């Protein structure tokens, strides 16, 4: 695929001084305020079942570069979120040498990156791994995603997420609602769920898991509306947009499965039940489909229907009732270490998933349409839409 058109990196540790992101490729002229990013950062921090860290942090971004007078200027953006909890970790975290060696983490948690990362990087203190592997890193993904969503909004594309299940509780109300209604209900829900009855049962399930010293996972769905047909490509494996979205979602901590459209259900149905018939709407001069089993993607290319992707999140690996593990120094059997953690973070993960899909779509849009400024991007998109109307 080559160099991304919307290119970004993050850095920072969970209890280090702060988290940073660099974004390259944002066109000039995009209206952007720190408050636009902070709104999504706040959504990431909410949700029933979150841990004590969310009571300490109040994530706010500082736009350090690339924005002048409330608009992007075409140069790379630099974003910073400070870790308030770092003040409690002096002597254990930070770049300066320690006055005395901090107590190492030596009992890896099953399901976490602790042991695999320590073996790979030859680290005897597992904190060197868990600090970066922590989902705290997703703070900056959400910040980058907020910029991506602002860019997509200029061409009429909206991306949002909602939770469809937690543990064994499955929501159903969203299936009969228009996308706008699903978004509105999910944004008003503490668990990002558009089904109030299911949300109440989800809270009960989280409460029960918490009292048992256990954790819960779940599934969330990302919806993107307003996408024109033609983003992505069928011509090379790494340009297929469904593959790029799957990679983006699978890269989120604790995500173990991704579906697009009908997903795994399609494997249990006949082709006549899976594939979407095609019609032509004279009023809009557009090809339309009466259903959306494909999830808005065919052949790795958007087809004009809403994009639908789901991600399955495993239960969090840090348990208050720890699983058996091994002391990496003595090799003796020991209980896994416990780091302050959440009971359930599916709602927060949905905000991260929303960000990752927005980032992927922003990259695909810039790949398709180009433009060094928002005005140029808009002209290119409108010219393409006019081309489609004349097809």
Reduced to 3 states (helix: H, G, I; strand: E, B; else coil), residue 188 is helix
**What are the structural domain ranges in the chain?**
7-389
Digit-coded pLDDT (tens) for 170-211: 999 999 999 999 999 999 999 999 999 999 999 999 999 999
Q: Which residue has the tokens 């959306």?
A: 292
Q: How many CB atoms lie under 10 A from the CB of residue 245?
A: 27
Owner of token pair 């971004």: 61
Q: At what angle do helices 138-153 and 346-369 cross, to 10 degrees?
A: 50
Report, as an integer, the average pLDDT of 87-108: 92
pLDDT tens digits for 301-341? 999 999 999 999 999 988 888 899 999 999 999 999 887 77
Model confidence pLDDT, tens digit, residues 348-381: 999 999 999 999 999 999 999 999 999 999 999 9
**Number of neighbouring beta carbons within 10 Å of residue 86:** 17
Structure tokens at 325: 């593990």
- pLDDT for res 56: 66
Helix (H) or strand (E) holding 108: none
DSSP 55-70: HH----EEEEESEETT
Q: Which residues touch 302 (CB under 8 Å, ≥6 apart)?
A: 227, 228, 229, 230, 231, 232, 241, 296, 364
Percent of the chain with pLDDT over 70: 98
State the chain's maximal CA–CA distance in angstroms: 75
pLDDT digit string, tens, across residues 121-150: 999 999 999 999 999 999 999 999 999 999
pLDDT of the residue at 188: 95
Position of tokens 């702060």?
18
Pick from 76, 67, 16: nearest CA to 37: 67
Q: How confident is the model at residue 55 (pLDDT cuts 50, 70, 90)?
A: low
218 Cβ contact list (under 8 Å, min separation 6): 163, 164, 165, 166, 167, 202, 312, 313, 344, 346
Cα separation, 320 vs 334, in Å, equals: 14
Strand ranges for 66-136 from DSSP E: 67-68, 71-72, 77-82
209, 344 Cβ separation under 8 angstroms: yes
Q: Using a pLDDT cut of 90, give the percent of the chain over it.
A: 89
Where does 7-389 sit in CATH, by number?
3.60.150.10
Task: Find tokens 């109307």 and name the residue.
Answer: 389
Please give the pLDDT value at position 112: 93
Question: What's the start-to-end Cα distance of the chain, in Å?
Answer: 28
- Tokens at 138, concatenated: 């997703």
Q: Please check whether residue 367 is in contact with residue 210, taking contact to mean a CB–CB distance below 8 angstroms.
A: no
Dihedral sign for Cα atoms in the order 130, 133, 137, 138: negative
3-state secondary structure of 166: strand
List 309's β-bridge partners, or say none: 222, 260
Q: Which residues make beta-bridge pairs with 160?
A: 223
Q: What is the mean pLDDT of the chain?
A: 95
Instruction: Categorize the per-residue pLDDT at 46 as very low, low, confident or very high, splitting at 50, 70 and 90.
Output: confident
Cβ neighbourhood burial of 2 (10 Å; 0-12, 13-18, 19+): exposed
């Amino acid at each position: 695929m080559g160099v991304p058109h919307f290119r970004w990196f993050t850095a920072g540790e969970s209890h280090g001084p702060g988290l940073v992101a660099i974004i390259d490729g944002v066109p000039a002229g995009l209206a952007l305020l720190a408050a636009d990013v902070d709104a999504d950062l706040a959504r990431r921090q909410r949700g029933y079942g979150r841990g004590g860290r969310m009571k300490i942090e109040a994530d706010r971004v500082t736009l350090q570069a690339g924005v002048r007078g409330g608009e992007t200027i075409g140069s790379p953006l630099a974003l910073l979120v400070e870790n308030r909890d770092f003040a409690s970790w002096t002597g254990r975290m930070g770049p300066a040498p320690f006055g005395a060696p901090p107590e190492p983490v030596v009992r890896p948690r099953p399901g976490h990156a602790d042991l695999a990362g320590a073996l790979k990087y030859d680290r005897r203190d597992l904190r060197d791994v868990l600090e970066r592997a922590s989902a705290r890193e997703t703070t900056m993904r959400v910040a980058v995603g907020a910029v991506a969503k602002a860019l997509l909004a200029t061409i009429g594309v909206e991306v949002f997420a909602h939770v469809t299940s937690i543990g064994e509780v499955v929501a159903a109300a969203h299936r009969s609602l228009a996308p706008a209604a699903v978004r509105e209900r999910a944004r008003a829900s503490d668990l990002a769920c558009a089904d109030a009855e299911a949300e109440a049962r989800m809270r009960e399930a989280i409460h029960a898991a918490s009292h048992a010293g256990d954790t819960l996972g779940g599934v969330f769905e990302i919806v993107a509306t307003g996408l024109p047909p033609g983003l992505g490509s069928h011509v090379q494996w790494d340009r297929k947009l469904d593959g790029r979205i799957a990679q983006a979602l699978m890269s989120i901590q604790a995500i173990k499965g991704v579906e697009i459209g009908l997903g795994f259900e399609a494997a249990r149905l006949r082709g006549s039940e899976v594939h979407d018939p095609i019609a032509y709407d004279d009023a809009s001069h557009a090809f339309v489909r009466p259903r959306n089993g494909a999830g808005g993607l065919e052949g790795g290319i958007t087809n004009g229907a809403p994009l639908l992707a789901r991600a399955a999140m495993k239960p969090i690996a840090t348990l208050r009732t720890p699983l058996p593990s091994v002391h990496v120094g003595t090799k003796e059997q020991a209980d896994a270490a416990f780091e302050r953690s959440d009971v359930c973070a599916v709602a927060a993960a949905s905000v991260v998933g929303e960000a990752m899909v927005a980032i992927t779509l922003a990259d695909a849009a810039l790949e398709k349409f180009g433009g060094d400024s928002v005005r140029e991007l808009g002209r290119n998109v409108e010219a393409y839409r006019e081309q489609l109307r004349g097809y």
